[in-house]
Structure 1
C-alpha cells in the first residue's frame, strides 16, 4: 500500500478534463463513485469543486464531509482524499478546477483580501453558498472552458486562467453563507489566515510555535491568544493536530516503515517521533498501526 499522489501534470495528460496551460486543469460534467476508483489519493494541486446538481459524501484527512447543490468544495494540496460516494449512486454534476501550488502562491499577495475563505477551508473544506451562488460562477467557468478549448497549452494560458480563478474566489467570498469566521476583526482575521497559510506549507518541517510567530512578526503568546479566540485552538494545538493527523494517515494508509514516517515528518529519530505521538494520542505508532 502506497501513499499515492496524482500530480497536476498527470491530470493534464489524462483523458478526463482539459488542460489550462501547464499550471491549471479543468473538468466539467457528471461524477460517480466509479470515477473515483483511484482513491485513496492526494493531489499536488489546489482543487475547487462547484456542485450544480446531486449530492455526495467524501472524506478528507479522515473526516467526512457532504457536497450538495450550491456548495463549493476546496481541497488543499496534499490533503488525503479517501472516500467518495454519491447519494443513491446517482451522478453528481460538477465543475472542477485544479491549480498548481505556483498559481496558489501567486494568490498569496492578495491573502488579506481572501482571508475569510483561507480560515474557513482549514476548518471545513465545504463552502455553503447563498441562493444562486454557484450559478453566479458560471461566467467564470464559461471563460475557463473557452480558454481550455481554444488555447489549452499556450504559454500564457495558466496566467490568464489564474486571474479568472482568482476573480471566482472573490465571487465565492462575496456569495458564501455567513459562518463562524464572518465576524472576526480585521487584525485577528489577518493573523489567523496567515497562520493557516503557513501551517499548511510548513507543518512537517516546523512544529515550534515560534517559527510561525516570527514569520508573522508577533510574539508566540499573542499568536496563540488570537488563534484561541478565532478558532478555539492555540497555535500549538493546531500544529499538533496537523502533525498527528498526517502521521495517522501515513500509519494507516501507507507501507512506509515507522522510521520512514518519522523522517518524512522531520523528527530527529524514530524514538522522538514515538514519544511525540504517544504524548498526544495515548498510544505508540506501532499500536495505532495495528
Structure 2
C-alpha cells in the first residue's frame, strides 16, 4: 500500500469541482475542462456542501464571502467566515471547513506563486503580499462598498478567464495583483481598528497555538506546552479558555484529530502506520482517541470517504 499523501494541485481541484457541478453551468469561474493553466483558476463554491474534509494544497486561495457563513480551520487558526469578508488559504497549512450555511456563496481565485513571479512581481514583494499578518487569522472584514468593488474585480477575473481574449494572461496577472493589494488593504484596516494585538493574553495564546501547530506530534500535554512558554499549566489553561472558549487540551487534541482526518482521507497509509506517525503507543489507543472526536473508528471513517 502506497504511503503517498495527496496534496491537491489546481488541475485536480478543478476536475473535482467540475465533476461535482454535473450538468449545471456555473455563472462564475471556469465552465469546462478546457482551461489549460496549472497555476491559476477561478471558481465559486457549490451550495449545499456543509463541510469539507481536511486537505492540503500546493497553491494559494483568495476567497471572497458574499453571502452566508461557515467555520474554517487553516493550520492553527479556527475562525468564522462571514458575509463581506475575504480570507487567504496558504499551501503550507491543512485546511477544512464545517457548519456551512445553505446560502453560503464564495468567489475563489486559486494560484501558484509561479503565476506571478518573473512575470510581474519580484519574489520578495510577492512574499510580503502573501504573508499578510501571520499573528492573526487570515480573514478580513470589508465594508459593503469594498465588498461590492471586490466582487466586480472577481467577476472581471472570471470574464477574462472565460473569454481568453488577446493578452488575457498578462491581464489576469494584473487583476490578481490588484486583488492581493486590496486584500492587504483590508488587513491593514482591520488591524487599525483592532486592540487585540495590544493584549499580552492574546499574544500568549497565539504562541501556544503556533507551538501546537509546530510540535503536536511530540508535545502532548498542557504541562509540556506551559513549560515551553515559561508559564504555569494553570495559567495557560485559564487564558486559552478566556481567549478561545476552549480547553487547552482540546486545542492540542483537535490538531491531532485534524491530522488524523487528513491522513485517513488523503493517504494510502494503514491505520497502524497513521497511529505510528502520530506517535500513539498502539493502534487501539489511536482508534479510541479518534472515535471520541468522530463518533466512529478510523476504519469506519475511511469506508465513508
User: What is the TM-score of this pair, normalised by structure 2?
Assistant: 0.53
Is 2:186 the partner of 1:171? yes
Q: Tell me which residue corresponds to 2:242.
A: 229
Unpaired segments of 5 or more residues in structure 2? Answer: 15-32, 114-122, 161-166
Q: Tell me which residue corresponds to 1:124.
A: none
Structure 1 residues 149 and 247, CA gap change in structure 2 (3 angstroms): same
Q: Tell me which residue corresponds to 1:96.
A: 109
1:132 partner SS? helix
Structure 1 residues 134 and 255, CA gap change in structure 2 (3 angstroms): same
1:111 partner SS? coil
* Distance (whole Å) between structure 2 residues aligned to residue 140 and residue 197 of structure 1: 33
Structure 1 residues 32 and 233, CA gap change in structure 2 (3 angstroms): closer
Number of residue pairs matched by the alignment: 252
> Contact conserved, 2:129 with 2:181, CA < 8 A, in 1?
no
Alignment equivalent of 1:241, drawn from 239, 247, 254: 254
2:144 partner SS? coil
> 1:230 Cα deviation (Å)?
0.5
Q: Tell me which residue corresponds to 1:149.
A: 169
> 1:6 Cα deviation (Å)?
0.5
* Distance (whole Å) between structure 2 residues aligned to residue 212 and residue 16 of structure 1: 47
* Distance (whole Å) between structure 2 residues aligned to residue 214 and residue 107 of structure 1: 32
> 1:286 Cα deviation (Å)?
5.5
1:97-156: CA deviation from partner (whole Å, max 9, x where unpaired): 4567x98899669434xx2x35xx6xxxxx654423423547987999999822989xxx
Aligned pairs for 1:1-290 within 5 A: 4-7=6-9, 16=35, 25=40, 27=42, 32=46, 42-44=55-57, 45-52=59-66, 70-75=84-89, 77-80=93-96, 87=103, 94-98=107-111, 110-112=133-135, 115=136, 117=137, 129-135=142-148, 137=150, 149-150=169-170, 165=180, 168-172=183-187, 174=189, 185-209=198-222, 212-213=225-226, 217-221=229-233, 222-248=235-261, 256-274=269-287, 276-277=289-290, 280=292, 285=297, 289=301
> Contact conserved, 2:132 with 2:187, CA < 8 A, in 1?
no
Unpaired segments of 5 or more residues in structure 1? Answer: 122-126
> 1:7 Cα deviation (Å)?
3.0
Is the strand fraction higher in 1 or 2?
1
CA-based RMSD of the aligned residues comes to 5.5
* Distance (whole Å) between structure 2 residues aligned to residue 208 and residue 251 of structure 1: 24
1:5-64: CA deviation from partner (whole Å, max 9, x where unpaired): 31368679x865967xx7xx4526x55469x9xx86723245331135x66879879xxx
Q: Tell me which residue corresponds to 2:117.
A: none
* Distance (whole Å) between structure 2 residues aligned to residue 128 and residue 212 of structure 1: 32
Structure 1 residues 236 and 15, CA gap change in structure 2 (3 angstroms): farther
